[in-house]
Structure 1
Amino acid sequence: MKSGPDIARIASLIGDPARGNVLTALMSGKALTATELANEAGVMPQTVSSHLSRLEAGKLIVSRKSGRHKYYTLADDEVAMVLETLMGFAAHVGHLRTRTGPKEVALRKARVCYNHLAGDMGVQMYQSMTAGGFLMKNDGTLNLTEEGRWFLAAMNLDVSTLPKSRAPMCRECLDWSERKSHLAGQLGRALLSHFLECGWACRVSDSRIIEFTASGERKFSKLFG
């Protein structure tokens, strides 16, 4: 094909194992330094710089300076969506990293997918909100219904106050471990932030795992059981 999007270029950027590990590490949603990403990628700091330059030139990641340090993040939600879809496909065809024991169970139960809740609990929340009529598809677009706004208001979550963003309010994201959809978009981000701010859950250090407290899990199940 002589014209159109160059998917081979993007695929080559993601396809390198070291760059793939860098991108996976940034799915935590945290800004990481080159040294931290070198450790994640399993390469020398001198080598990771070349990989980061290529990813940044390909507009898959962005960097910003803070003091003496330079931090890297994924470029946007769209990049995260592509990566999560690839993770789902890789899991489906059996291309998995070595299992990590109990930590793997926790990762599958609840984790951060860039900026929203994924894993079993993320899928549970999406299915519950859909079944309750709080989310509804219209011509392939996922929308928050008026009932959904009332449901969120009862949680002290007013979507009209969310920061302006290019991201859609609601978006499906294919969960790599469950192979079902979870909720992304502005609302997915807001709900995860709400759970963390209310003390229902916390992020496990140096991991994508979201760990709910016993009380937080009960409250979550009451809303999304």
Structure 2
Amino acid sequence: MEANIASPAALIGDPSRAAMLQALMDGRAHPAGALAWAAGLTAQAASNHLARLVDGGLLSVERQGRHRYYRLANAEVAHVLEALAVLAAPVRSLQQPRSPEARALREGRCCYGHLAGRLGIAVTDALVARGVLALADDKLYAVPDAGRAWFGDLGLEPTALRAKRGVARQCLDWTERRHHLAGPLGVALLSRMVALGWIDADTGSRAVKLTMLGREELRLRLGVDLETMEGREAA
């Protein structure tokens, strides 16, 4: 029997549920109250929508005391949401971001554990230009010997990572409409950059910021200058 795509499509198609799913694209678990706020719903309405998303296999829920925390059920759900975001009409607020929050998300953000936005694109472009990554079939990146050495210098071992769909994947950025690095290697790289103090992750949102140390390290290691990346659309 063929898969019934109508069921998950109907769940995602509701604007309120879509808003809550997008709020979970940072890969973290969030309480129902936060998701209700993101979707502009009452607590009761949000609870009903979240129950349907859990029953439909799009979300998983973890109970801690009296609270319930929700996250995307798996990476496949995130891939579907990213693909739908690319098919959707461009978001005007991100094309011409007017608020500080919108500008911050476009400059750099966490996309289900990996680096996205202009910062993610700049890093990925530099990795490809330097031969650290190589374009491959099926929307994947290959990691040549030079790449294994580069990542190894950061304390990462690409050959130790495992994934059915590829260790290094191309993810089409929904604000920039270009590919950034995803997959286990992308997740490991962002985590390492945060640990090294190159990137500050805002725990209150998906936005991330490049630190002064990060700017210098990326300039030295990848030959890119991101000194003026933040705030260049502030005017």
TM-score normalised over the length of structure 2: 0.85
Structure 2's unaligned 5+ residue stretches are 225-235
Matched, 1:70 2:68: yes
Deviation at 1:150, TM superposition (A): 0.4
State the match for 2:43 in structure 1: 45
- Measured against aligned partners, the alpha-carbon deviations of 1:12-39 in whole angstroms (never above 9, x if no partner) come to 1111111011101101222111111111
Deviation at 1:95, TM superposition (A): 4.5
Inter-partner Cα distance in structure 2 for 1:175 and 1:4: 30
Change (3 A) 1:142 1:95: same
Contact 2:148–2:158 (Cα < 8 Å) also in 1: yes
Contact 2:197–2:213 (Cα < 8 Å) also in 1: no
Q: Secondary structure at the match of 1:5?
A: coil
Structure 1's unaligned 5+ residue stretches are none
State the match for 1:108 in structure 2: 106
State the match for 1:152 in structure 2: 151
Deviation at 1:161, TM superposition (A): 5.0
Match of 1:133 among 126, 131, 136: 131
Deviation at 1:9, TM superposition (A): 2.0
- Aligned positions of 1:116-131 closer than 5 A: 116-131=114-129
Change (3 A) 1:196 1:28: same
Contact 1:85–1:175 (Cα < 8 Å) also in 2: no
Deviation at 1:213, TM superposition (A): 1.4
Inter-partner Cα distance in structure 2 for 1:67 and 1:74: 20
Inter-partner Cα distance in structure 1 for 2:174 and 2:116: 9
Change (3 A) 1:152 1:35: same
Name whichever of 99-108 and 28-37 sits farther off.
Answer: 99-108
Contact 1:77–1:167 (Cα < 8 Å) also in 2: no
Deviation at 1:206, TM superposition (A): 1.9
Deviation at 1:132, TM superposition (A): 2.1
- Measured against aligned partners, the alpha-carbon deviations of 1:62-90 in whole angstroms (never above 9, x if no partner) come to 11122332111011112112212222232
Name whichever of 108-117 and 212-221 sits farther off.
Answer: 212-221
State the match for 1:18 in structure 2: 16
Match of 2:55 among 57, 61, 85: 57
- Structure ranking higher on relative contact order (CA contacts 8 Å, 6+ apart): 1
Q: Secondary structure at the match of 2:50?
A: helix
Identity value in percent: 39
Contact 2:170–2:182 (Cα < 8 Å) also in 1: yes
Q: Secondary structure at the match of 1:186?
A: helix
Deviation at 1:167, TM superposition (A): 5.8
Name whichever of 19-28 and 63-72 sits farther off.
Answer: 63-72
Deviation at 1:166, TM superposition (A): 5.1
Q: Secondary structure at the match of 1:103?
A: helix
Change (3 A) 1:129 1:84: same
